[in-house]
Amino acid sequence: MLNFYQGAFITQKRCLWVNLDNPLYVTYHDHEWGNPVHDDMRHFEFITLEGAQAGLSWETVLNKRENYRKLFSGFNPIKIAKFTECKIQKILANPGIIRNRLKVYSVVNNAKAFIKIQEEFESFDNYIWSFVDNNPVINRFANLEDYPTKNSLSDKISKDLKKRGFKFVGSTIIYAYMQAAGLVNDHSIDCCKSWNVYMVRCSDNSLYTGITNNVARRLEEHNSKSPSSAKYTRAKSPCKLVYQEYSINKSSAAKREAQIKKLIKAKKEQLVKEYAIAKQI
Protein backbone atom coordinates (compact mmCIF):
# COMPACT_ATOMS: atom_id res chain seq x y z
CA MET A 1 0.00 0.00 0.00
CA LEU A 2 1.23 3.50 -0.81
CA ASN A 3 0.69 6.75 1.03
CA PHE A 4 1.39 10.30 -0.04
CA TYR A 5 3.80 12.27 2.09
CA GLN A 6 4.41 15.92 1.17
CA GLY A 7 4.82 15.33 -2.53
CA ALA A 8 6.37 11.86 -2.49
CA PHE A 9 4.79 8.43 -2.39
CA ILE A 10 6.35 5.93 -0.02
CA THR A 11 5.61 2.39 1.09
CA GLN A 12 3.26 2.27 4.05
CA LYS A 13 5.03 0.85 7.09
CA ARG A 14 3.47 -1.27 9.79
CA CYS A 15 4.64 -2.54 13.16
CA LEU A 16 7.39 -5.11 12.69
CA TRP A 17 5.44 -7.94 14.36
CA VAL A 18 2.77 -7.98 11.63
CA ASN A 19 2.87 -10.90 9.18
CA LEU A 20 2.15 -9.04 5.95
CA ASP A 21 1.35 -12.32 4.18
CA ASN A 22 -1.69 -12.90 6.38
CA PRO A 23 -4.61 -10.58 5.46
CA LEU A 24 -6.29 -11.29 8.82
CA TYR A 25 -3.20 -10.12 10.63
CA VAL A 26 -2.88 -6.96 8.54
CA THR A 27 -6.56 -6.09 8.98
CA TYR A 28 -6.33 -6.70 12.72
CA HIS A 29 -3.31 -4.41 12.99
CA ASP A 30 -4.80 -1.67 10.81
CA HIS A 31 -8.31 -1.58 12.24
CA GLU A 32 -8.27 -3.02 15.76
CA TRP A 33 -4.95 -3.29 17.59
CA GLY A 34 -4.47 -0.26 19.81
CA ASN A 35 -7.89 1.27 19.11
CA PRO A 36 -9.66 2.08 22.42
CA VAL A 37 -12.40 -0.47 23.12
CA HIS A 38 -15.50 0.61 25.03
CA ASP A 39 -17.84 -2.28 24.26
CA ASP A 40 -18.09 -4.89 27.04
CA MET A 41 -18.46 -7.88 24.74
CA ARG A 42 -15.38 -6.81 22.81
CA HIS A 43 -13.49 -6.53 26.10
CA PHE A 44 -14.53 -10.08 26.96
CA GLU A 45 -13.57 -11.26 23.50
CA PHE A 46 -10.03 -9.94 23.80
CA ILE A 47 -9.60 -11.30 27.34
CA THR A 48 -10.78 -14.71 26.09
CA LEU A 49 -8.58 -14.74 23.00
CA GLU A 50 -5.50 -13.49 24.82
CA GLY A 51 -6.00 -16.23 27.41
CA ALA A 52 -6.28 -18.79 24.61
CA GLN A 53 -3.02 -17.49 23.18
CA ALA A 54 -0.98 -18.40 26.30
CA GLY A 55 1.98 -20.48 25.11
CA LEU A 56 1.05 -19.98 21.45
CA SER A 57 1.27 -17.26 18.81
CA TRP A 58 -1.38 -14.58 18.42
CA GLU A 59 -1.59 -15.44 14.73
CA THR A 60 -2.70 -18.98 15.61
CA VAL A 61 -5.54 -17.58 17.72
CA LEU A 62 -6.44 -14.94 15.14
CA ASN A 63 -6.85 -17.62 12.48
CA LYS A 64 -9.35 -19.42 14.75
CA ARG A 65 -11.15 -16.28 15.89
CA GLU A 66 -14.35 -16.81 13.89
CA ASN A 67 -14.68 -20.33 15.27
CA TYR A 68 -14.36 -18.96 18.80
CA ARG A 69 -17.00 -16.35 18.04
CA LYS A 70 -19.47 -19.01 16.86
CA LEU A 71 -18.82 -21.51 19.65
CA PHE A 72 -18.80 -18.92 22.43
CA SER A 73 -22.04 -17.14 21.51
CA GLY A 74 -20.41 -14.03 20.08
CA PHE A 75 -18.47 -13.64 23.35
CA ASN A 76 -21.63 -12.73 25.23
CA PRO A 77 -20.70 -13.34 28.90
CA ILE A 78 -24.34 -13.72 30.00
CA LYS A 79 -24.89 -16.59 27.57
CA ILE A 80 -21.50 -18.18 28.25
CA ALA A 81 -22.04 -18.14 32.00
CA LYS A 82 -25.01 -20.47 31.43
CA PHE A 83 -23.07 -23.07 29.42
CA THR A 84 -23.79 -26.61 30.61
CA GLU A 85 -21.22 -29.37 30.99
CA CYS A 86 -22.61 -30.95 27.84
CA LYS A 87 -22.11 -27.69 25.92
CA ILE A 88 -18.53 -27.37 27.15
CA GLN A 89 -17.71 -30.93 26.09
CA LYS A 90 -19.02 -30.25 22.58
CA ILE A 91 -16.79 -27.19 22.39
CA LEU A 92 -13.79 -29.21 23.53
CA ALA A 93 -14.43 -31.70 20.75
CA ASN A 94 -14.39 -29.00 18.07
CA PRO A 95 -11.05 -28.74 16.18
CA GLY A 96 -11.83 -25.14 15.23
CA ILE A 97 -10.46 -23.82 18.52
CA ILE A 98 -7.49 -24.52 20.79
CA ARG A 99 -8.78 -27.56 22.65
CA ASN A 100 -7.11 -26.94 25.96
CA ARG A 101 -9.44 -28.11 28.73
CA LEU A 102 -8.33 -25.55 31.31
CA LYS A 103 -8.56 -22.67 28.85
CA VAL A 104 -12.06 -23.61 27.70
CA TYR A 105 -13.35 -24.00 31.24
CA SER A 106 -11.76 -20.67 32.16
CA VAL A 107 -13.95 -18.88 29.61
CA VAL A 108 -17.11 -19.95 31.44
CA ASN A 109 -15.53 -19.15 34.79
CA ASN A 110 -14.41 -15.71 33.58
CA ALA A 111 -17.84 -14.94 32.16
CA LYS A 112 -19.31 -15.28 35.64
CA ALA A 113 -16.59 -13.10 37.16
CA PHE A 114 -17.02 -10.59 34.32
CA ILE A 115 -20.74 -10.23 35.07
CA LYS A 116 -20.00 -9.51 38.73
CA ILE A 117 -17.72 -6.63 37.70
CA GLN A 118 -20.44 -5.29 35.42
CA GLU A 119 -22.88 -5.35 38.32
CA GLU A 120 -20.43 -3.55 40.61
CA PHE A 121 -19.19 -0.89 38.16
CA GLU A 122 -22.22 -0.70 35.80
CA SER A 123 -19.95 -1.93 33.00
CA PHE A 124 -16.64 -3.72 32.63
CA ASP A 125 -15.56 -0.76 30.54
CA ASN A 126 -15.90 1.57 33.55
CA TYR A 127 -13.85 -0.82 35.63
CA ILE A 128 -10.96 -1.42 33.23
CA TRP A 129 -10.50 2.15 32.00
CA SER A 130 -10.30 3.43 35.58
CA PHE A 131 -6.82 1.87 35.74
CA VAL A 132 -5.57 4.42 33.18
CA ASP A 133 -7.79 7.35 34.24
CA ASN A 134 -9.81 6.89 31.04
CA ASN A 135 -6.86 7.90 28.83
CA PRO A 136 -4.79 5.48 26.73
CA VAL A 137 -1.12 5.20 27.58
CA ILE A 138 0.81 6.22 24.45
CA ASN A 139 4.18 4.53 23.96
CA ARG A 140 6.65 5.32 21.20
CA PHE A 141 8.72 2.20 20.60
CA ALA A 142 11.10 1.93 17.66
CA ASN A 143 12.29 -1.69 17.77
CA LEU A 144 10.76 -5.06 18.66
CA GLU A 145 13.14 -5.45 21.58
CA ASP A 146 11.79 -2.21 23.06
CA TYR A 147 8.35 -3.70 23.66
CA PRO A 148 7.70 -4.98 27.20
CA THR A 149 5.80 -8.22 27.77
CA LYS A 150 4.36 -6.80 30.99
CA ASN A 151 4.70 -3.80 33.27
CA SER A 152 3.58 -2.52 36.67
CA LEU A 153 0.14 -1.63 35.31
CA SER A 154 -0.50 -5.08 33.85
CA ASP A 155 0.74 -6.53 37.15
CA LYS A 156 -1.84 -4.43 39.01
CA ILE A 157 -4.75 -5.33 36.71
CA SER A 158 -3.77 -9.01 36.68
CA LYS A 159 -3.66 -9.12 40.46
CA ASP A 160 -7.07 -7.49 40.79
CA LEU A 161 -8.70 -9.75 38.19
CA LYS A 162 -7.31 -12.84 39.88
CA LYS A 163 -8.69 -11.59 43.19
CA ARG A 164 -12.08 -11.34 41.47
CA GLY A 165 -11.91 -14.95 40.32
CA PHE A 166 -10.54 -14.68 36.78
CA LYS A 167 -8.26 -17.35 35.35
CA PHE A 168 -5.65 -17.14 32.57
CA VAL A 169 -5.09 -13.46 33.29
CA GLY A 170 -1.40 -13.40 34.15
CA SER A 171 0.46 -10.12 33.73
CA THR A 172 1.82 -11.02 30.27
CA ILE A 173 -1.66 -11.97 29.03
CA ILE A 174 -3.10 -8.77 30.46
CA TYR A 175 -0.47 -6.59 28.82
CA ALA A 176 -1.32 -8.16 25.46
CA TYR A 177 -5.01 -7.51 26.21
CA MET A 178 -4.20 -3.88 27.08
CA GLN A 179 -2.52 -3.49 23.70
CA ALA A 180 -5.45 -5.08 21.87
CA ALA A 181 -8.09 -3.03 23.70
CA GLY A 182 -6.21 0.25 23.32
CA LEU A 183 -5.51 0.88 26.99
CA VAL A 184 -1.96 1.24 25.73
CA ASN A 185 -1.11 2.30 22.19
CA ASP A 186 2.05 0.46 21.22
CA HIS A 187 2.17 1.20 17.50
CA SER A 188 5.80 1.80 16.62
CA ILE A 189 7.17 5.25 15.84
CA ASP A 190 7.27 4.68 12.08
CA CYS A 191 4.03 2.70 11.85
CA CYS A 192 1.40 3.97 9.42
CA LYS A 193 -1.04 3.96 12.33
CA SER A 194 0.81 6.78 14.04
CA TRP A 195 -0.78 9.92 12.55
CA ASN A 196 -2.39 10.62 9.19
CA VAL A 197 -3.50 13.74 7.37
CA TYR A 198 -6.54 13.04 5.20
CA MET A 199 -9.19 14.60 3.02
CA VAL A 200 -12.74 13.40 2.47
CA ARG A 201 -15.10 14.49 -0.28
CA CYS A 202 -18.47 15.46 1.12
CA SER A 203 -21.87 15.08 -0.51
CA ASP A 204 -21.74 18.69 -1.76
CA ASN A 205 -18.35 17.99 -3.45
CA SER A 206 -16.45 20.06 -0.89
CA LEU A 207 -13.24 18.73 0.67
CA TYR A 208 -12.74 18.38 4.41
CA THR A 209 -9.20 18.05 5.82
CA GLY A 210 -8.35 16.48 9.17
CA ILE A 211 -5.82 14.41 11.12
CA THR A 212 -6.28 11.09 12.89
CA ASN A 213 -4.37 8.06 14.12
CA ASN A 214 -7.01 5.78 12.56
CA VAL A 215 -8.31 6.79 9.14
CA ALA A 216 -10.85 3.96 8.84
CA ARG A 217 -12.41 4.74 12.21
CA ARG A 218 -12.46 8.49 11.52
CA LEU A 219 -14.19 7.98 8.17
CA GLU A 220 -16.80 5.84 9.89
CA GLU A 221 -17.34 8.61 12.45
CA HIS A 222 -17.76 11.24 9.73
CA ASN A 223 -20.46 9.12 8.11
CA SER A 224 -22.21 8.26 11.36
CA LYS A 225 -23.39 11.84 12.03
CA SER A 226 -22.61 11.14 15.67
CA PRO A 227 -21.20 13.72 18.13
CA SER A 228 -17.73 12.30 17.45
CA SER A 229 -17.91 13.37 13.81
CA ALA A 230 -16.85 16.85 12.69
CA LYS A 231 -19.59 19.49 12.72
CA TYR A 232 -18.78 20.31 9.09
CA THR A 233 -19.17 16.75 7.78
CA ARG A 234 -22.18 15.93 9.95
CA ALA A 235 -24.48 17.81 7.59
CA LYS A 236 -22.63 16.81 4.43
CA SER A 237 -22.39 13.03 4.62
CA PRO A 238 -21.84 10.57 3.07
CA CYS A 239 -18.14 11.32 2.92
CA LYS A 240 -15.57 9.46 0.82
CA LEU A 241 -11.86 9.21 1.59
CA VAL A 242 -9.97 10.72 -1.36
CA TYR A 243 -6.54 11.52 0.07
CA GLN A 244 -4.22 10.58 2.89
CA GLU A 245 -0.60 10.95 3.88
CA TYR A 246 1.13 10.02 7.08
CA SER A 247 3.31 12.04 9.42
CA ILE A 248 5.94 11.01 11.94
CA ASN A 249 3.94 12.42 14.88
CA LYS A 250 0.83 14.40 15.80
CA SER A 251 2.63 17.72 15.72
CA SER A 252 3.86 17.17 12.15
CA ALA A 253 0.39 16.01 11.11
CA ALA A 254 -1.20 19.15 12.56
CA LYS A 255 1.27 21.41 10.73
CA ARG A 256 0.65 19.61 7.45
CA GLU A 257 -3.12 19.78 8.02
CA ALA A 258 -2.83 23.56 8.44
CA GLN A 259 -0.84 23.80 5.19
CA ILE A 260 -3.44 21.88 3.22
CA LYS A 261 -6.34 23.84 4.69
CA LYS A 262 -4.75 27.08 3.43
CA LEU A 263 -4.64 25.78 -0.15
CA ILE A 264 -7.22 26.94 -2.65
CA LYS A 265 -9.72 24.30 -3.84
CA ALA A 266 -7.87 23.74 -7.14
CA LYS A 267 -4.63 22.90 -5.30
CA LYS A 268 -6.44 20.46 -3.03
CA GLU A 269 -8.03 18.79 -6.05
CA GLN A 270 -4.57 18.42 -7.55
CA LEU A 271 -3.41 16.54 -4.45
CA VAL A 272 -6.46 14.30 -4.71
CA LYS A 273 -5.74 13.62 -8.39
CA GLU A 274 -2.07 12.78 -7.75
CA TYR A 275 -3.05 10.51 -4.87
CA ALA A 276 -5.54 8.61 -7.06
CA ILE A 277 -2.93 8.13 -9.78
CA ALA A 278 -0.31 6.88 -7.32
CA LYS A 279 -2.71 4.29 -5.90
CA GLN A 280 -2.96 2.74 -9.36
CA ILE A 281 0.81 2.43 -9.83
Peptide bond between residue 238 and the one before it cis (omega within 30 degrees of 0): yes
Count other C-beta atoms under 10 Å from residue 203's C-beta: 12
The whole-angstrom separation of Cα 146 and Cα 136 is: 19
221 flagged as catalytic: no
* Catalytic residue (choose from 17, 28, 105, 232): 28
* Catalytic residue (choose from 45, 50, 221, 257): 50
The whole-angstrom separation of Cα 231 and Cα 238 is: 13
* Catalytic residue (choose from 25, 58, 175, 243): 58
246 flagged as catalytic: no
Distances in Å between the Cα of 172 and the Cα atoms of 107, 109, 156, 265 are 18, 20, 12, 50
Count other C-beta atoms under 10 Å from residue 196's C-beta: 21
Question: What are the residue ranges of helices labelled H in 65-214?
Answer: 65-71, 77-80, 85-92, 101-121, 124-129, 152-163, 171-180
Half-sphere exposure of 267 (CA within 13 A, CB side): 8
Secondary structure class of 202 (helix, strand, coil): coil
Which amino acids are annotated catalytic? 28, 50, 58
